[in-house]
Chains A and B, each alone.
Chain A
Amino acid sequence: MSKRTLPRLLQTPAVVLLLLWMLVPLGMTLYFSFIRYVLNSSRRPEWTVPSLSNWRGFGNYEYVLFNAKDFWFSIQNSLFIVVSILIFTVILGLALATLVNRTFPGRGMVRVLLISPFFVMPAVNAVLWINMILDPVLGLNGLAVEGINELLRNLRDFPVLGAFFSMWPEFEPMSFRATQTSAYAVIMMVTWQWTPFAVLIFMTSLQSEDEQQKEAAILDGANAWSRFRNLTLPHLARPIAIVVMIQSIFHLSLYAEIEIVSRGNGNKNLPYLIGEFTSNNIGAASATGIFAVILANILAIFLLRMVGKNLMD
């Protein structure tokens, strides 16, 4: 065997495995999206098995786009959740990375504490937040509000001032199990988990910043904000773009958190909707899946271009 072919052969197993992994299930999804395929159809038993004779053309796509009431809501909700998480993680990430990017006692420990949430498994993250922290009665949320109310009640017993405090209503703890508020809960827990990721990447990038340029700026009398605005932020433009794109791709397929926080309360995203369809209407599930693939690809193209560009240097 020649010197060039053997090394090429070494990458064949990886390529073949990934090719199968990508093409076979995706091809099936594409196929199912064009046929009538309903698991529990007692009236039309022929629809319960996949077959070309149940061809429906773009019928499933039409159904999903125009008749399935949750499709547009779940796209909107997916985007609301992803965009909110992005805004919070990038801003917090920038602030924290600048904060930690200096020498001070215990810096290593601070880094360790900050990065930890990223390694918590998503299921634990969701169970921990929705129950022990956000629960309106037993969680810290409920306990804190109850504590404030308790304080308020005690203040009412004071002479003179008590009259003032008795005009105040007691606070009501916010419940995070309704449709809209459980989206907030998801945003909160994912922001907690992924801010460390943003911090880590921004910190890595800050370390390659041109220090001399910064010192020159100080000598020229530039204040901290203008140094951040005019030197650091442009330097971080690329890492910010990377953080935004990678997170978008991960969070569009957010599942465990949604499943745990919002079962049955109407808060859903695209993957969750696909999961719901999958229990019965496979045709609709597959059409929705194809939409999800298209959405992810739009983002992936930008990311991959960026990654590919500086790959070989």
Chain B
Amino acid sequence: MPVVAQNSRLGNILWPTLAWVVALIFFFPIFWMVFTSFKTDADAVKPEYLFVFKPTLENYINMTENYDYWRFAINSIITATFATTFALVVGVPAAYAMAFNPSRRTKDVLVWMLSTKMLPAAAVLYPMTYLTKNFLQIFDTHFLIILVLCLINLPIVIWMLFTYFKEIPKEIIEAGKMDGVSIWGEIKDILIPLAWGGIASTALLCFIFCWNEAYWTVRLTTTDAATLSKLIEGNRAPEGLFFGRLSAVSTAAVGPIVVLGWFCQKQLVRGLTFGAVK
């Protein structure tokens, strides 16, 4: 923990106070959304009820009726869960192979995988629509969204897992080999128990990214597989007449994820900088 720069009395009070003020300012929009979600639509736009009002749960109770919230929420849960699972099923063996049996090309393969993440999605918008609508006929299906979410997050998943697996001493895996354990046995009985924490945080982060994805989930769905991103985007409410109910549905859409996010802030650095910042 840094101890320098804390030598002045004034600084000891001033800087922490400033840190708190800035943190509260940054959190304010989220607070305001949650706060407004307890106002009625009519109260939400009246200046006299800006801070003092009669709280109501009406917006949450009517969420299903106003927005069909659960249909979208269930789609989000299904697609994010399955996409994360598949990404792990494909990613764990791949990362295992690259971490413990690297070849001369492993580094290039990893970097290439990341490069697929950097292709602008918009560049392949029409081909994706064309392929899935006219050719494969999987447009607006859960299968398609799961597949796409899995593929766009696979590079990050493999990359994160790779950095976690690299931390496991090679000797432990080698010892397993000596004892004649099969590869599946190695993964199942040695690797997964040892790297459990890393795998869990990779899964958590992947889930969050799937949940918040807002390009393909909007452009490749109409109704059946539409997720919460699509729901919110479809209710941008330009006239602003429904601040109360819009806040409630937004709170319900982001609340669980923000809370999950609090638990994986440390892993976020690893997942988003590809191990380049330590």
Contacts and interface: CB of A to CB of B under 8 A. Distances in A.
B98 interface: yes
Contacts of A124: 33, 232, 250, 253-254
Contact of B154 (A8, A17, A96, A118): A17
Contact of A104 (B16, B154, B233): B16
B247 interface: yes
A116 B27 contact: yes
Interface residues of A, number: 118
Contact of B120 (A128, A256, A296, A312): A296
B29 A192 contact: yes
B125 A304 contact: no
Among B50, B90, B102: residue with most chain A CB under 10 A: B90
Contact of B124 (A26, A103, A117): A26
Interface in A31-55: 32
Interface stretch (B61-69, B193-201, B212-220): B212-220
A221 interface: no
Contact of B118 (A28, A101, A242, A249): A249
Interface in A133-184: 133, 135, 137-140, 143, 146-147
A274 B123 contact: yes
Interface of A is mostly: helix
A79 interface: no
B123 A290 contact: yes
A271 B273 contact: no
Interface stretch (A57-65, A83-91, A207-215): A207-215
B123 A26 contact: yes
A113 B214 contact: no
Given A196-B26, A289-B120, A14 B5 contact: no
A238 to B, nearest CB: 7
Interface in A242-285: 242, 246, 249, 252-253, 255-256, 259-260, 263, 270-272, 274-275, 278, 282, 285
A7 B260 CA distance: 34
Interface string B234-247: 01111010010011
B122 A274 contact: yes
B94 A121 contact: no
A213 to B, nearest CB: 10
Contacts of A127: 232-233, 235-237, 246, 250
Contacts of A289: 120, 122-126
Interface in B115-159: 115-116, 118-131, 151, 154-155, 158
Interface of B: 1-7, 12, 15-16, 18-20, 22-24, 26-27, 29-30, 32-33, 36, 45, 47, 50, 90-91, 93-94, 96-98, 100-103, 107, 109-111, 113-116, 118-131, 151, 154-155, 158, 177, 183, 208, 211-212, 214-215, 218-219, 228-229, 232-233, 235-238, 240, 243, 246-247, 250, 253-254, 257-258, 260-262, 265-266, 268-269, 272-278
5 contacts: A29-B127, A103-B3, A116-B258, A255-B215, A274-B125
